[in-house]
Amino acid sequence: MTARTMAPLAAIALLAVAAGCAGGDARPASDRQRMIELGRQHPTAAALFEALREQASGGQPLQWGALPDWSGVYTRARGGITYDPDQAPGQPPTARLTPEFEARLAERIRLADQGIEWDPISTCAPPGHPRWLTEPFLREFIVTPDQTWLINEMVNDIRRVYTDGRGHVPEEDRLPLYNGDSVGFWDGDRLIVHTNQLREGIYQRRNPDYTDQVETVEIWQKTDDGLLEVDVWVYDPPALVEPWYTRQSYAKLSDPDLRIRYWHCGENQNNSVFQTDDGATQFQDFTFTEADDANQGDER
Amino acid sequence: MTRIRGTLLLAAGLALAAVVTTPAHHSGAMFDETRTVTFEGVIREMQWTNPHSWLLVDVRGDDGTVTTWGFEAEGPSTLRRAGIRPSDLRAGAEITITGRPMKDGRTAALWVEAVLADGRKLDPRKGFEVR
């Protein structure tokens, strides 16, 4: 495709984004396809983010008296613990992987089918972004004019999105981070976010790996009173042949007494697991009784 | 331990196909997805912890010996979403509980369902339902 033919397609896709494309899994397939095309038409996450910012004329600062109402406690609405909610059961992920990462995924699934599976969060590491989008626990979203906090209950995990006009930290200060460095702008009631400086990780169990070159662009929007939806493009040249587009969603829960509490991942010895020599997951010794505790004391 | 009464009811090749039993923090491959065990016993302790809670149940065998089984479930907020509350699981209460046992024979299982003395059923996985 030439640059000349790409430009009109990009404009169409940007208009589709500007219109919001609400509807979640009920959207026509053509909407999803437009979003996929939008990712393809920008070579990097930074380029897509800048195009969206240009489309929004730089965005509009929020005012304290007119913040979007994202209050409430939410959880992931679709997808279970599969990264792409639109991945069909029993089918491979919708990402177009490079041969190396395709092979890695095939091996991961082959081993998991044999009961050999290890999740890097098993010893209390945070999931990291973009896996952060998938965890099935409670969520809160705190909007202020200068920052938006995207909170996952699990390990008290907060992504801070700076919307005060600052850019990413200078090159000389960059290092891989679990949740990376996120900057964004508001376009009406939509929050557009660019995240870089991420660590390598996995999208989920039985899902692909991503590298520390991964970057994302997200468009967050509350599409009705009970639903926040997010269009996500993941760019990761070593692992992905093209950007991986997905729509994630978070539903507001109806229980008014739900509260997010402190999450101490290491508080119970009975949750302690280790990776066996063959790569599988196994529990350490349990401490169900005083005798168990005493035995472990002897061993130590 | 003040009162112990428990009986192994069932250890058979039962598959509860409709129940999703993958723990959200670590692989669930150490549990046998092809089998369930069901015990009547007495609650020794409920550990309301993250990332997983553990229900410890004392089970008396046919020979009179008591074994403590641990049943893994999700953390406190997910259990609350499943309608499971601290007042439901007091030490000393009788309970019938079903889980997927460890493959290596240790006395632990992934909690599938429990039935309280009043007949109420507790299914931790309902905590992931969106409502």
Domains for chain A: give ranges and CATH numbers. 60-252 (2.40.128.20), 269-299 (no CATH)
Q: Judge whether B90 lies within some domain.
A: yes
Domain containing residue B71: CATH number: 2.40.50.140
Name the DSSP letter for residue A178: S
Using only C-alpha atoms, chain B has a radius of gyration, in whole angstroms, of: 14
Q: Judge whether B22 lies within some domain.
A: no
**Residue B7: which of B46, B64, B55 has the closest Cα?**
B64
CB contact under 8 A, A288 and B107: yes
| Measured distance between the N- and C-terminal CA atoms of chain B, rounded to whole angstroms | 38
The span from the CA of A32 to the CA of A208, in Å, is 21
Q: Answer for the pair B115, B121: CB distance below 8 angstroms, yes or no.
A: yes
CB contact under 8 A, A253 and B131: yes
Kindly identify which residue of chain A lies nearest to residue B127, measuring between CA atoms: A137
Kindly identify which residue of chain A lies nearest to residue B130, measuring between CA atoms: A77
CB contact A289 to B (< 8 Å)? yes
User: Which tens digits make up the pLDDT trace of A256-282?
Assistant: 999 999 999 999 999 999 999 999 999
Q: Judge whether B55 lies within some domain.
A: yes
Given pLDDT bands bounded at 50, 70 and 90, which one contains residue A90?
confident
CB contact under 8 A, B30 and A281: yes
Name every chain B residue with its beta carbon within 8 A of the beta carbon of A24.
none
The span from the CA of A256 to the CA of A254, in Å, is 6
CB contact under 8 A, A260 and B77: yes
Number of domains chain B contains: 1
Below-50 pLDDT ranges, chain B: 1-20
Least confident of A25-34, A56-65, A105-114: A25-34
CB contact B125 to A (< 8 Å)? no
Q: Judge whether B24 lies within some domain.
A: no
* % chain A with pLDDT above 90: 84
CB contact B76 to A (< 8 Å)? yes
- In this predicted structure, the answer to whether residue A298 has a pLDDT above a threshold of 60 is no
pTM score? 0.88
CB contact under 8 A, B26 and A258: no
Q: Give the dihedral sign, CA B37/B41/B42/B44.
A: negative
Q: Judge whether B112 lies within some domain.
A: yes
**Residues in B 82-101 with any Cβ partner in A closer than 8 A:** none
Residue A157 has a CB neighbour count (10 Å cut-off) of: 20
Q: Judge whether B100 lies within some domain.
A: yes
Nearest to A258 among B69, B80, B106 (CB): B80
Nearest to B27 among A253, A255, A281 (CB): A281
Kindly identify which residue of chain B lies nearest to residue A112, measuring between CA atoms: B29
Cα–Cα separations (whole angstroms), residue A5 to A1, A16, A38, A54, A291: 7, 18, 13, 20, 73
Range of the domain at B67: 7-14+29-128
Q: What is the mean pLDDT of chain A?
A: 90
Q: Judge whether B75 lies within some domain.
A: yes
DSSP per-residue string spanning A220-276:
EEEEETTEEEEEEEEE-TTTBSS-EEEEEEEEEP--TT-------TTS-GGG-EEE-
Residues 6+ apart with CB under 8 A from A114: none
The span from the CA of B97 to the CA of B13, in Å, is 16
Residue A26 has a CB neighbour count (10 Å cut-off) of: 7
Nearest to A271 among B52, B68, B69 (CB): B52
Structure tokens at A284: 């350490």
